[in-house]
Amino acid sequence: MKNRIQSDRYVRLGLTRLVAASVVCVVVSDATHADTSGSRSLDPLTHEEMQAAVELNQPILGLRDSMPEKQQQPSVPGTGRAGLRQELLLVERRQPEKGQRKNRLADVYTYDYVANELVHVIVDVDRNAIVHSEILTGVQLPLIPKEVEQAMQIVYEDSEQRDLIDSEFARVTGRPLNAISDLKYKAFVFHADTTAEGVSEATQNCGVHRCAQLLLYSANNIVIDVSPVVDLSAGVVTQSVTTTGHGHGSSGGTPR
């Protein structure tokens, strides 16, 4: 009888421990799930989330396009090519503010070249909804590759700039410039109020307008000492300076 009582006691003790362990496992499992859910809000946006955020942004941009003052598609002066109108610059995950729900938020930035405004939209990708939108002026995000290509094309088609580049290219390389592919280039956003050098009247708009300054190189990385400033909003070269900072030629924004 004594052995049976002890056996029953061991069984009850084993069941108690088993139930306690199960409870601990459930708590740990829930905690792990909560941590995973919380940490997910810090992960970069997936391709699908970025696409969804951009698609939600389209109706706002469409409404802006329907404004009467935007009915005419701008074109690059002196060419038959349509200029930039609106360009998606950046889509990135937004860090939730302290105390907010840890929903997945995305910042979507689109530049409107007609109005010279940056359209900023915040999207809740978990709820597939726009939670905030605003219009910013004088705010210039870094250039995207498409804008750099557009700026270079405008420069290459400008007769005054082409003459300057041809001359400098021949001087430093000892051979003629045959095609745009002979040049290497990079560009950065140009603000008129951040340079101590003199700027042309047309260049003074840079910062309010979206402008790019190009740095040119030969195929073997020899610097071409001509650095054009392009107003992407107007589609013209506003001036060109040497990379040492002295004034060079200037188109002054005049269509060519």
Specify whether 103 is located in the same domain as 181: no
Q: Which CATH number does the domain housing residue 197 bear?
A: 3.10.450.40
Specify whether 155 is located in the same domain as 112: no
**Interval 163-213: pLDDT, tens:** 999 999 999 999 999 999 999 999 999 999 887 677 899 999 999 999 999
Flag whether 247 is in a domain: no
Residue 240: CA atoms inside 13 Å, Cβ hemisphere, count?
29
**Tally of domains in the chain:** 2
Q: Say yes or no to pLDDT of 6 above 80.
A: no
pTM over 0.85: no
Counts for the chain of helices (H) and strands (E), in that order: 4, 9
Q: How far apart are CA 197 and CA 205, in angstroms?
A: 15
Structural domain harbouring 197: 145-241
